[in-house]
A and B are shown apart, each in its own frame.
Chain A
Amino acid sequence: MKYQNVVLLLSIFILTGCEKFLSEKPDQKLVIPKTLDDYQSILEISRVTEYDPISWERCTDNYFITDASWLSLTSEYDRRAYTWSKELLFERGNNNEWGYLYDNIYRANIVIHGLDNYKEDRTVSQYAQLKGDAYFVRGRSFFNGLQIWAKAYDATTAATDLGIPLRLDADINKPTVRASVKEGYERVLSDLKTAAEHLVTHPLHVVRPSLPAAYALIARTYLAMRMYDSVYRYTNLGLQYKAELLDFNSITNPNATYPVAPFNVEVVYHSFMTSAVILGASRARIDTTLYKLYDENDWRKVVYCRPQGDGYFSFRGNYTGHAGAFSGIATSELYLMRAEANARIGNVTAAMDDINKLMAKRWKTGTWINKTAATKEEALAVVLTERRKELIMRGLRWMDIKRLNKEGYNISLKRIIQGVEHVLPPNDSRYALPIPEDVIEMTGIQQN
């Protein structure tokens, strides 16, 4: 009656052995990554739901909040971050900046590990792009982590300064330990350079990494390390592939909620930060001194600054086209990095050329008068002021303060809350934010 089935089942068992019988997926919807498309899907999520840190903005001088806003804050973490408290800047669990960061690293590690053991044809272009993508994601995540949880790079102490844990494979049984700042930056550079070997010059979409994005990020890393000739070299390499600037005169409605279109011609790589209540448009106000730096003819005075009716302005110039702050890479940053490198090296004219080129696209048509500089110092001062004005709410100011204070710029941060003044002096240990306390408890790594 059911002999055939008996025979069938028996032969399945005998011929293919129990191993195959037991290797059937318990749920058809489960994906055990095997194909390149599977690996692609693992990285793809970071472009949709994963966020970059925001503490590098929560703690900087791009903004301030009024006493009334301070009182109405619902998040204790925001309050502590705003005053550079030494503890409890992050909630427990994985839904915080630390968790998001290492989430991306884990995913990149799964792909790197999977590609290393990939048995099929490795010559297809998707293989190389994926490999570059995974290394790019990992290198970039380590870089972001170093900005937030480690001291500024200082060649003299980097070998002993505590960096962040460098998790390099997907084995979750390996312990979490902190590497040095030096090891951290070396890993960032090696990951990004590996990425650069594999990435394509023109990606399917700027939410995916590309060769110019990798070069730009390498340049940014050297900038944080204050190695300016390398900054010069990699900005040049990046600008070879992508150099177009967005003319702010062409923005159709400078008074729109978010006037800058996402994925515009300047965007080399698109990503954005997680949100923080304190940085919402209803609370965060652009620093008044910073606001005063914008000329009446500078479009950024309108495009970046939304009047809030309380005499102050909130920021609306996100390159994301929505409330999320842009943490990607734009060509404007590349020009500013190259200008700074040139100024420091002594190529004053080249430095001023880049500034003039950028400003022509920022000011109302015909109003910008090309600037020149007599000395290296003069040029550098212009470049740094323009950098300050251009790259606000981009997650770069925190890194700039840290590295410039290492150069003796003596930038102090100050908050006044209900008459009480809070100061963060230059090179303070609090520039490395406290690591989430539950991570310390579970892993035993040293707190900052």
Chain B
Amino acid sequence: MLLFCLPLLLAAQNATRFIRVTDNDYLPLAGVTVQWAYKTKTVLTNSTGIALLYNLQPTDSIWLSATHYTETAVQAGMQDTITVVLQRVSSQLEEVIVHTGYEALPKERVTGSFTRVNTQLFNEQVGTDVLSRLAYVANGLAPTTTAVTAPNRVHSSNGLVLRGVNTFSRTTADPLIVLDNFPYEGDLLNINPNDVESITLLKDAAAASIWGARAGNGVIVITTKKSRFDQPVQISLTMNTTVMPATDLFTLQQIETPDIIELEKYLFGRGYRLSDTASTSRPPFTEVYRILLQQRRGQINEATANGLLNELAAYDVRNEYKQHFYSPAINQQYALNMQGGTKRHSWLLSGGWDKNLSETDAAMQRVTLRWNNTYKVTDKLQITSDLSYTDSRNKSGKPAYGTVRYMGQSLPPYIRFADETGTALPLYGFYLKDYIDTAGAGKLLDWKYYPLTDYQHSVQTSRLNNLSAVLGINYKILPALTADIKYRYQEQNIRDEHLQTEKSYYTRDYINLFTQINRQTGVVNNIVPRGDILDAAMARLLTQDLRGQLQYNKGWKVHQVTAIAGGQLSATVNKRESFRVYGLNSEYLTHRPVDYVNRYPQFVNNVQAVIANPMSLSETNRRMLSFYGNASYTYDGRYALSVSARRDASNLFGVSTNNLWKPLWSSGLLWNIHREQFFKVKQVNELQLRITYGTQGNSDPSRVAVTTFRYVSPNPYTQAMFSQIDNVYNPDLRWEQVATINAGIAFAVLKNRISGSVEYYRKNVSDLYDNIMVDPTLGLQRSIMIQNVSNMRGQGWDIELNSININSKIKWTTNLIVNRYNNKITKRDIIPPANTVVSSAVLPGYSIYAYFAYPWAGLDPATGDPRGLLNKEVSKSYANILSADYPISDLVHIGSLSPVWFGSMGNAVQWKGFTLSARIVYKLGYYFARPSINYNTLISTKSGHADYYKRWQQTGDELHTDVPSFIYPAVVARDAFYQQSEVLATKGDHIRLQYINLSYSSHHKFLQKLFLKELQVFGVANNVGILWRANKYKLDPDNFSGALPSRVYSFGVRVHFK
């Protein structure tokens, strides 16, 4: 540090002193007017933000002014170098740059709709990844709910939904994510969040259509920090730690152990599963059943049995998990950023190290490195390079709640993993205890399962390496015309390994199953060899992009023209392979071959089986060729007009070149009303009107338009391979088309004290991939086929308001985001049957997230059975109600499963160096099906929902409960009807305090002695708590089925070195 500052110190002289002017981010400000000696002397700062002040007296006042910055006066004082930080007038006047991934444009000239999240807002939360914290702060980004992310619903895979999901297919539901210039295909965890400068959401057609056939769900552009010319070396360091207390498993609403034991006694009395004592597959019995069986056989008396059962009643498996497997999760993050620049060269070097330990000790470590360079070879030629590398490793930890299984299901509540001395207890979860205690007469491997220690012998590791290199050449052909070539190479390799040593239960069990013991000689023959079992999978992603682009930018008099045109080639190869190794000696890496072909009898039930061979190879290629253009014209800063067009071709739609090319276009208009002569409302300092229309596309890589076959396996008689149809010739297959209209108004009043924007959009989605019935006479081996047949419409409002409530020593600002979104299917030819509509199938005339349920007619006063309606009459024929023939018109449309209104409100209070900010988020106008008791599951798994206690038990109960009575044997259809009836529909509306951030930032003189420019310390509490909810069951609508997640605390420091 000292070295860089030395020249400045030496240059300081008595009356001639330096002043350094920076912005809030400590970046030098050039062109700042500096005046002193009663404003008789004036200079401008140079590109490094430095100006030389001559004849400066210590008593002089220095005035600094620059557009967009508050005019500031400082006392000259005695320091050799005067450092001044200029504050921006307000965030509204900040020159917002919109990064589209193709170009960066000032906001004043952009007709499209976008949301920009800057570093400051982004850093109010802490996280390992880049995108998860966006949902709470970005205008237009919808929050997810448990119901819509269920596997049978359409939802984006990363949880990000920008202005709604506009498709029926999961494979086309994701927004496009762009990192700097190119779509990002790798793991998003490869990006160090501390490298992020800003995130821009491109929401409407004018903003996103430049991304063409992949932009139907909007585009999220991540812009990383870049180096700048002519800046001194800057170094900053960020360190933070996040602590999440272990999940409180007792927030799960479950039936308590004593009641489960009572239930099992009852089931035993009714003879449930007693026939299994003779089963040849030797299924296990629970501990309660073992005691009861011993009692029945006369091995123990009733008193002993009751004593043993009472002992069990005191246990709760949640305590076992808590004690043995759960501890607070700790995430640590360190990031170092260095940058500097001379006249010809600028550079940025950053590194990050993350170390996460989950609440069950699953470990993640990540190292990221980034090196960014820009060389100005000549005044016309500029070369940029950007290299980034990520290495991350994951290792599995202890079992999480619910992952230790008993007969493939969740555990009975009295299971213990260890005894009082901490010794591991076996769990007889797969076979009968008496059987495995004696099977094989000592010639088999130990067949007991010890959950307490098994995870130590069954370890999954994953290692990811990612290298990304971008090379750019920029040449100024004419002052207004530049040519730009960019090439990106990205390679990501992931290797997953699952090593199950011979000590693991899986391996011991598998070896035992395929063990043959000669009854005469006692010779043991292991068909599956002794040793460890290793499953390995490799995935390689290789992406190459090449883009050539011409850029024209010219302003004269009142005209301003910006245009780009270019072409792009992209190729993405995904290669995967996986295999298994048996009989592995992990130390010497020796392994043994196995016979995958012949069948062998399994030890327990003698059923013949082949040895599992989970081997697979696959390779997919995606290629795209695109041409695009974009032009905007601004007149007098008042009107702007933009047009864009793009054509894409991809290898997905095969040979039929007619449809290979698809033009997508957009157009937009902007009017800065406040710059009109006639506009004379003084209080309004900004009023802007925007309207755009255009189309985007949505393509699914798994859809192919040509007839293709897939080889299956050899015909056993002729040994010739046989194949089956995979895709059917489908010449009309094309991209889904999203036509968006967007109208918005932006305003600022009272000198920017209140500002905001209101936008309305409507998306008409046509050519949606959907099923059509296929004439069986065509012989296509299918009764349905995908074609571009359905339509839907989405519409909504994005409203954002910013206000500066107090602007003095204490500054209080508020940011309010209000979003509304709903959609409706306008055309769908296939009407799905009612029993699929209640689970997930979508109906024309309704939203894709419509919640349908069976009408409820109360509990039967005589029996406590749930009752529905069949042909408008009260009915208990559950099978008929659940049948495909149930009329859809008789279903109850509850509402939406996805919030119709959502958004957030952030408040920030600043006083001196302190900033306290907090954000509440809200989700309104939606429903969820609250969980309740399922008797069939209760009987088979011995665990169930606490609604059990509210169940109907005698006539009269139906007046105050809706929980059906317990019956044995349980009827699957009765449970299913109850689960899907309207009685469980619950309002999801709630308001949550999402996070509170307290930070203190200091530029104290004392820091200077430590060569620090700024020190910032902060603490964040995330997931703070629910402030209000509409449901009376005290359920968290975001987490109603599992245990409640804990509050998360983060602490950290950010240091800027001098």
Contact = CB atoms under 8 A, between A and B. Distances in A.
Interface string A218-241: 000000000000000000000000
B435 to A, nearest CB: 32
13 contacts: A2-B489, A9-B571, A21-B625, A27-B618, A27-B704, A28-B620, A32-B708, A33-B709, A41-B723, A95-B783, A99-B781, A104-B779, A439-B775
A106 B780 contact: yes
B729 interface: yes
A6 interface: yes
Interface in B192-227: none
B544 A9 contact: yes
B182 to A, nearest CB: 14
B704 A172 contact: no
Contact of B707 (A95, A110, A176): A110
- Among B655, B723, B773, the most chain A Cβ lie within 10 Å of the Cβ of B723
Contacts of A102: 776-779
Given A18-B649, A24-B623, A94-B782, A5 B777 contact: no
B538 interface: no
A301 interface: no
Given A40-B720, A436-B776, A93 B783 contact: yes
B471 interface: yes
Given A28-B621, A208-B718, 19 more contacts: A6-B546, A9-B487, A13-B569, A18-B625, A19-B657, A22-B625, A22-B660, A26-B652, A27-B618, A27-B619, A31-B710, A41-B721, A42-B709, A47-B715, A99-B783, A205-B718, A207-B717, A436-B776, A439-B775
Q: Which 5 interchain pairs have the tightest Cβ spacing?
A: A106-B779, A93-B783, A44-B722, A102-B779, A41-B723
B46 interface: no
Contacts of B723: 31, 38, 41-42, 44-45
Interface string A259-275: 00001000000000000
B469 A1 contact: yes
Interface in B613-639: 618-623, 625
A45 B712 contact: yes
Interface of A: 1-2, 5-6, 9-10, 13, 18-19, 21-33, 37-38, 40-42, 44-45, 47-48, 92-96, 98-99, 101-107, 109-110, 165, 167, 170, 172-173, 176, 204-205, 207-208, 263, 436, 438-439, 442-443
Contact of B569 (A2, A9, A19, A33): A9
B968 to A, nearest CB: 27
B625 A41 contact: no
Contact of B710 (A13, A29, A92): A29
Contacts of B546: 6, 9-10, 13
B722 A47 contact: yes
B775 A47 contact: no
Nearest to A95: B783
A439 B711 CA distance: 29
B610 interface: no
A24 B625 contact: no
B253 interface: no
A44 B779 contact: no
B724 interface: yes
Given A5-B487, A13-B569, A172-B729, A167 B717 contact: no
A330 to B, nearest CB: 17
A438 B773 contact: yes
B569 A21 contact: yes
A10 B619 CA distance: 24
Given A5-B489, A26-B701, A28-B618, A103 B775 contact: no
A105 B651 contact: no
B717 A47 contact: yes
Contacts of A94: 774, 776, 780-783
Contacts of A207: 715, 717-718
A301 to B, nearest CB: 31
B650 interface: yes
Nearest to A102: B779
B726 interface: yes
Given A9-B544, A102-B779, A107-B779, A38 B709 contact: yes
B727 interface: yes
Given A6-B487, A27-B618, A102-B777, A41 B709 contact: yes
Interface footprint category on B: 35 or more
B706 interface: yes
A92 to B, nearest CB: 7
B702 to A, nearest CB: 8
A41 B711 contact: yes
Contacts of B783: 92-95, 99
Contacts of A208: 718
A261 B723 CA distance: 28
B381 interface: no
Nearest to A173: B731
Contacts of B119: none
Contact of B715 (A44, A109, A165, A436): A44
A104 B485 CA distance: 53
Contacts of A32: 706-709
Contacts of A105: 779
A136 to B, nearest CB: 15
B960 to A, nearest CB: 42
Given A5-B487, A9-B546, A45 B777 contact: no
Contact of B651 (A1, A22, A37): A22
Interface in B656-712: 657, 660, 701, 704, 706-712
- Among B544, B660, B718, the most chain A Cβ lie within 10 Å of the Cβ of B718
A45 B725 CA distance: 10
Given A2-B469, A38-B709, A44-B720, A22 B779 contact: no
- Among B619, B775, B779, B783, the most chain A Cβ lie within 10 Å of the Cβ of B779
B720 A41 contact: yes
B545 to A, nearest CB: 9
A104 B729 CA distance: 17
B795 interface: no
- Among B660, B708, B710, B715, the most chain A Cβ lie within 10 Å of the Cβ of B715
B618 A165 contact: no
Contacts of A92: 783
A23 B704 CA distance: 12
B870 interface: no
Contacts of B701: 26
Given A38-B709, A41-B720, A1 B621 contact: no
B779 A2 contact: no
B938 interface: no
Contact of A165 (B724, B731, B777): B777
Contacts of A165: 777
Nearest to B470: A2
A371 to B, nearest CB: 38
A275 B546 CA distance: 57
A93 B776 contact: yes
B439 interface: no
Contacts of A23: 651, 654-655
A21 B567 CA distance: 14
Given A25-B651, A207-B718, A172 B618 contact: no
B281 interface: no
B788 to A, nearest CB: 15
Contacts of B487: 2, 5-6, 9
A443 to B, nearest CB: 6
A144 B471 CA distance: 66
A110 B709 CA distance: 11
Contact of A30 (B471, B710, B721): B710
B728 interface: yes
A204 B656 CA distance: 38
Contacts of A438: 773, 776
A9 B650 CA distance: 16
B623 A30 contact: no
- Among B706, B708, B778, B783, the most chain A Cβ lie within 10 Å of the Cβ of B778
- Among A42, A165, A172, the most chain B Cβ lie within 10 Å of the Cβ of A172
